[in-house]
Structure formats: structure tokens, C-alpha cells
Amino acid sequence: MSAIIPPCTNACPVHTDVRGYLAAISRRDYQEAYRLVKACNPFPSVCAWVCPHPCEGACRRAQVDAPLSIRYLKRFAVDAVGVVMEDKPAVVSGKRVAVIGSGPAGLTAAYDLAQLGHKVAVYDRSQEPGGHFLASLPIFRLPRKILRRDIERIYLAGVEFIPGVEVGIDVPIDELISQYDAIVIATGLWGGRGVDRPGFEHRDILLALPFLQSANRGEKPKIGGQVLVIGGGNVAMDVARTAVRLGAPSVTVICLEDMEQMPASKWEIQDALAEGVVLLPGYGPVEVLFEAGRISGLLIQKVKSVFDLEGKFNPSYERGNLSVTGDTIILAIGQTPEKSFLHGSSLKTDARGCLLINKGNLSTGTDGVFACGEIAKGPGPAIAAVASGHQVARIVDCYLQGVKPAPAAKDYYLIGDLPGVVADRAPRFARQEMPALPPAQRALNLLPYELGLSENEALQEVRRCLNCGLGARVNAEKCSACLTCQRVCPYGVPVVGEYAQISLEGCMACGICAASCPSGAITMELIELNTVNQTLATREQVPRKPIDAPVNGRLLTLFACRGIIADGLCLEQLKISLPQNQIQVVELPSAGSLRLEWLLNAFEQGAGGVAVIACQAGQCRHRGGSAATERVVSRARKLLAQLGIGASQLYYCQLNTAEELLEGLIRFAKEL
């Protein structure tokens, strides 16, 4: 069977297991969440701060209310774990690889190749690795200690960094080609594009990257009181927001695109507006205006369309011009490839003098020389550069082994949209946004302003995950077509004919149908992953006892859905109130997924008492969940009574307030 991929993972350029690490956060297993984030991304901390999160744009939760705050949850997991330095060099292969450029693509390639056993040296003209992460990304968006934490892990994998060496200037690239078994060029885009309009050749016109780099070095770039930024991408937003923080009273961004078509991330546009940046979308520059030889403003023209009928970039304009006052102009309209490494080399170039690169296999036409990142793929987000680094590492490893790279496997099923009727019935929960300093306060300096989610906020947010693809599975051979699943499903998903069928797109993974199925024909992928029975069977502190000899007072097993736990069940306070090792918590996708055999198994495994917590009637995150739980508890009490286990050892409570719940649980545990 093909792998089942949720849209969030499919949208991520490196296919991060988003669903997996969100589930780990919901279990408070932050180490596992971090491991899953890092599994395909050597920059887990960096991306937790600056990734444009395409996963959120694909999140099916948006069809219900709003997409999950996935990047914020990633940052919560990374912050919760702290510094993790577990990577070790692999067994060496005897092959040597040089990587030119220490940005996200180059360091990703170096990290992967080192893990594959190759000896890797990274050359960079800078004294410290990081590329644009280090040099150009504003500090208020990425604290440098976060970057250095990820890079230190890359070092531990066996990567050597050679600073202050500009390939092509300090050492010819042909010399490196002769010394290494393979070369990876990851020099990125460091030049700035100009504007072919009158006045833009003036020496006082600033370029975006040098401006940002100067600010990051702690210098104060020379700007006036009225700054005009030309460009509509994320770099333009970074420039504008930096200018605000440097004290410019007026900052205006002018771009060709309409507001809805601007290439900048929506959240960065919103932050810029909140911080006082003015946007003039849908205008193009005509001419720089001067007074007494100094910049006094800009003549702009309304744009009819940015692209022509063939989809090519070819702006057309309306008649008439508009003048905008300004004394500083900063261009942020795109970057050009780095070329200095080509000096004196035998590498092949195109008509523009840029390195010739086969974008399919990242080869350069010179044996053993490959390229990755923006120089190969063009401009894009950092996570795309990471993906390119992974790709070139696989290709180079195959080259070093003398084998052809296998084609990328695409044998998977992508989960489709949520059916409208299910989306209409799904419970609504407010999205948790990132706590941040007020705009007026954050604009006072270049320090980070996003404060991070609290644990309670993270748990509230992660419960909104729909667990796409982890729903019910029907065993047709066991199914008796009794209609029970169809009757109990809160969303009307099951369709019963010769046997029950439950749509992968429609199932909300509440587990109520599986708990209610009299034939045991329905299993839950989510519950199998959470391994409830395994959890109950691995309590080393309580010896296994037969069911007719419970160990009173030794252990309380607590069943509750993750929604209740996120809503304020004070587990730490409960553990403090009870003797050590006296509580075992089993989190369920919903209280309605509780099964009779789990309650019996808990006693069989040595529990002195079992508590089941459900929502108040009508308040369950899945309709009908509380009623289903009450039926299971009632059946369990009857069976336990036949085995000599009193009803007082099985506690059932519908959540009212966290305080009352805590008091009831403590009283129940102490009476065991």
C-alpha cells in the first residue's frame, strides 16, 4: 500500500513529518518532537524562527476555522528541548568533498555527506558560517545564538569549516577540483539588481543586502527621515522593518504587485504594517527626483498588469505619474548569482557569464562538480535551499560510489480536502497566535520580538490538529454491516453497504466508531501509533498481578482525551499531590475512543484504581463522545463487579473545572 501523506508534509520542501511532531507535542514528548523536526532538516532551530511555513498554507484545518500555528509549535518544541548536541561523525568512506559556501544549502549538503561517511570541508570567504542566515537576515527575526546552535551540531557530524577563503580569489577552484573527489558549489545570490530608469545610477541609491548586512554588524547605515523601499518580497519587508528600527520616521514600500499578489509572506506584510510601514502596491518606478544633487523623491506610475498574456514578466502601465517624497531609496527587487569563484576557472558558463548548471541533476558539465541552493534553483525560502542541499548530497554520494542516482520515489497517496459536511460539523477552536512585543516597543531596537508559546498555549493549539490520515480502518472480513459506526459517528462519515467504508478524507480520528464496533472490525491508526496497550503493559514500577488481585493504593491509571488535558488538567500538580510513581496517564484522541478492554487491562496490569475523565455533555470536542464514554464505564463496572473489584475503584467524572477535577482525583486516589 502506498504511504498516506497529509497535505502539510507534502507542502514542506523537505517533507517534515508535521503530523508526527505535533502528536509528540500533544503527548508532551518534546524530545521526540525535536527528533522528528531534525530528521530531515539540519536547521531545526533556525526554521522554527524564520520558515515561511508552506505547511500552514496546506493545512486542512483551514477548511474548518484557521490553519494550525505549525511554525510556532515547532519553535515551542525546539525551545522546550534546548541545546541538543548528539550528532557524531560517521565511519569514513575515504572520499573527500569540498563545499563552497556555508549558507543553508551548502551546510545541509555538507552535513548529509558527512553523515554518509565522507570527509567534508566547507570553504567560505566569511569568518563565520551561515551565509545569508548570518549576514543578511535581520537579528530581530533570527537571534544569532539560535543559528550557532544548529551550526555547532553540523560541526559535530564531522564537517570542517575553512573560514576567510574566497574561492576564485584566494584559491582557484580548479585547484580544489584536483584535490577533492567532488565539489559542491553553493555560493548563493549575493548581488543586487538595479533599475534601468533615470537617476537609479546615483551613488546614494542603496541596495538591500548591503544595507541589511551593515545593520546586522551593529553599524548604522546612513538613511534619511523618509525612506522609500522598492520591492514586494520578504527582503523588501526586512529592509523596511529594519529602517523603522534604525529610527526612520517614514518608511514606504513601493512594489509592482497588488497587495494580494505581493510575493512577501502575508505575516511579514502584516508585521510591517503594524510597525508603521506604509505600502504603495501596484506602482512601478519611473524616475528618481533630485534637488540640489540630493534625492528628493521618486516618480512612480500605476501598473496595469505585471505579466503579459503568456505569463512572462512584462509590466504594463497606465498613463500619468505620481510623485512620492523621500530622501533615501533602497532597492530590494532581487539578487544575482555570485561569480567570483569562476575567476580563472575552466568551468562552463552561460551567455550571462553564470555557471552552467543542469537543474535536473545539479551537474555543471565538469566531472565531479555539482551545485545547489539559490545559484542552482533561483531565489526562494531557506527551507527550499535545505531541500536542494539534501538533493545534491544524494547525487554526490552516488557519484562517489560510482552508481546512478535512483529516481525520487513518489509512491504515496496525498490526502484530499475535508468534505464540506464534515468541515461544517467539526468543532471550532481559536488559533493560538505567537505572543509578541507591541509594535511600538519592538520598533525601538533590533532585538527579537516574538516571545514564544507557553506550554498551555502549545497544548491548546496542538489539539486543533485533525490527525489527517490517522483515522479508522475497516476490516471488511470482520464487518457485519450492523450500522453501529454509521449511527455513532458525529460526522456522518461511514457508508455501509456489504460492509462499512470510512473515507480517509472525512474521518476525524475521534475513535468513537472503533470503540463502539461490536465486531471489532474497526481499528484506529492514531491509537495504534499511540500504542495504548503497550503503554499499559510497560509500567516497571508496578509488578504484574492477575485481575483478581488488584494492588490497591499502588497506582492510579488515568484515561482522558488530549483536549481535556490541554484544557487545564494540572498533571504536575496531581503528581505532586500523590506519592511518587502513583499515576499513569493515558491520553486518548477523544474520550469516546475509550474501549472496555483497556479498562480491564489496566486492572490486570496492576492498577489499584482507574479514573476516566470526559467532557460535560454537549462540550466534547467530538459530539457524542461523552455519552459513548459513559456507556463503556457502565459496562466495565458490571464486569469488574463479577470479578470482585468494587465500583469505587473505577472513577468516572465529567469535567467541570480543573480545580474540582483535581480535588476529586486526589480524593479518589487517597481512598484507594
- For 194-333, the fitting CATH number among 3.50.50.60, 3.40.309.10, 1.10.3720.10, 3.30.1330.10 is 3.50.50.60
Pairing of strands 556-561, 500-501: unpaired
Q: Do residues 556 and 584 make contact, with C-beta atoms less than 8 angstroms apart?
A: yes
| Class of residue 56 by CB neighbours under 10 A (exposed 0-12, middle 13-18, buried 19+) | buried
Element (H, E) at 110: helix 104-115
Q: What is the pLDDT of residue 581?
A: 56
Domain ranges in the chain are 3-84+438-462, 96-190+336-401, 194-333, 472-530, 533-671
In this structure, what are the phi and psi dihedrals at residue 431, rounded to the nearest 5 degrees? -75, 135
Q: How is residue 546 written as a grid cell?
A: 492477575
69-85 confidence digits (pLDDT tens): 999 999 999 999 987 77
Nearest-angstrom CA–CA distance, 191 and 212: 13
Name the percent of the chain lying above pLDDT 70: 90
Split at pLDDT 50, 70, 90, the class of 475 is very high
Q: What is the mean pLDDT of residues 456-480?
A: 91
Within 13 Å, how many C-alpha atoms sit on residue 196's CB side? 0
- For 472-530, the fitting CATH number among 3.90.440.10, 3.40.190.170, 3.30.70.20, 3.90.1150.10 is 3.30.70.20
Nearest-angstrom CA–CA distance, 663 and 540: 27
Q: What is the mean pLDDT of residues 321-328?
A: 94
The domain at 533-671 falls in which architecture?
Answer: 3-Layer(aba) Sandwich (3.40)
Nearest-angstrom CA–CA distance, 328 and 228: 6
Q: Do residues 459 and 25 make contact, with C-beta atoms less than 8 angstroms apart?
A: yes
Q: Which candidate, 125, 97, 116, places its Cα nearest to that of 184?
A: 97
Nearest-angstrom CA–CA distance, 71 and 83: 18
**CATH no. of 3-84+438-462:** 1.10.1060.10
CA 324 to chain centre: 39
Nearest-angstrom CA–CA distance, 636 and 623: 22
More confident residue, 123 or 606: 123
Cβ contacts of residue 440 below 8 Å, gap of 6+? none
Q: What is the pLDDT of residue 597?
A: 85
| 540, pLDDT greater than 50 | no
Nearest-angstrom CA–CA distance, 31 and 105: 25
Domains 194-333 and 472-530 share a fold: no
Q: What is the pLDDT of residue 552?
A: 41
Q: Which candidate, 262, 231, 229, 259, places its Cα nearest to that of 243?
A: 229
Q: Which candidate, 264, 262, 282, 276, places its Cα nearest to that of 322?
A: 282
Q: Do residues 300 and 285 make contact, with C-beta atoms less than 8 angstroms apart?
A: yes
3-state secondary structure of 496: strand
| 150, pLDDT greater than 50 | yes
Q: How is residue 336 written as a grid cell?
A: 544575482
Q: How is residue 40 written as a grid cell?
A: 530531515
Q: How is residue 512 written as a grid cell?
A: 468513537
| Class of residue 240 by CB neighbours under 10 A (exposed 0-12, middle 13-18, buried 19+) | buried
Q: Which candidate, 122, 129, 9, 24, places its Cα nearest to that of 76?
A: 24
In this structure, what are the phi and psi dihedrals at residue 27, rounded to the nearest 5 degrees? -90, 0
Split at pLDDT 50, 70, 90, the class of 544 is very low
Q: What is the pLDDT of residue 585?
A: 77
- Which position has the grid cell 526612520? 248
Lowest mean pLDDT among 16-25, 103-112, 576-585, 586-595: 576-585
Q: How is residue 493 written as a grid cell?
A: 462519515
Q: What is the mean pLDDT of residues 266-294?
A: 95
Largest CA distance in the chain: 99
Pairing of strands 294-307, 313-325: antiparallel
561-596 confidence digits (pLDDT tens): 766 665 555 566 666 666 655 777 787 878 888 888
Q: What is the mean pLDDT of residues 29-52?
A: 94
Split at pLDDT 50, 70, 90, the class of 607 is confident
633-660 confidence digits (pLDDT tens): 998 999 998 888 888 889 888 876 667 7
Q: Go through the chain and tell me how many residues it has.
A: 672
Q: Do residues 276 and 251 make contact, with C-beta atoms less than 8 angstroms apart?
A: yes
Q: At what angle do helices 234-245 and 266-274 cross, to 10 degrees?
A: 20
Q: Which candidate, 597, 607, 614, 630, places its Cα nearest to that of 557?
A: 607
Q: What is the mean pLDDT of residues 171-185?
A: 96
Nearest-angstrom CA–CA distance, 622 and 427: 7
Mean pLDDT for all residues in the chain: 88
CA 557 to chain centre: 34
DSSP letter string, 632-644: HHHHHHHHHHHTT
Cβ contacts of residue 113 below 8 Å, gap of 6+? 97, 99, 120, 184, 393, 396, 397
Helix then strand then coil, in percent of the chain rounded to 5, is: 35, 20, 45
Q: Which candidate, 69, 109, 406, 415, places its Cα nearest to that of 267?
A: 69
Query: Using only C-alpha atoms, what is the Rg of the chain?
Result: 30
Q: What is the mean pLDDT of residues 274-282?
A: 96
- Dihedral angle, C-alpha 106, 112, 117, 122, nearest 10 °: 10
Residues forming beta bridges with residue 171, ordered by sequence position? 167
Q: Report which DSSP code applies to 407.
A: P
CA-to-CA separations, 88 to 32, 162, 214, 289, 614, in angstroms, rounded: 19, 19, 36, 58, 46
Q: What is the pLDDT of residue 627?
A: 75
Helices (H), 338-468: 374-377, 382-401, 420-425, 439-442, 455-462
3-state secondary structure of 401: helix
Highest mean pLDDT among 318-322, 349-353, 385-389, 488-492 belongs to 385-389
Q: What is the pLDDT of residue 456?
A: 86
Q: What is the mean pLDDT of residues 252-258?
A: 96
Nearest-angstrom CA–CA distance, 51 and 150: 14
| 111, pLDDT greater than 60 | yes
**CATH no. of 96-190+336-401:** 3.50.50.60
| Class of residue 409 by CB neighbours under 10 A (exposed 0-12, middle 13-18, buried 19+) | exposed
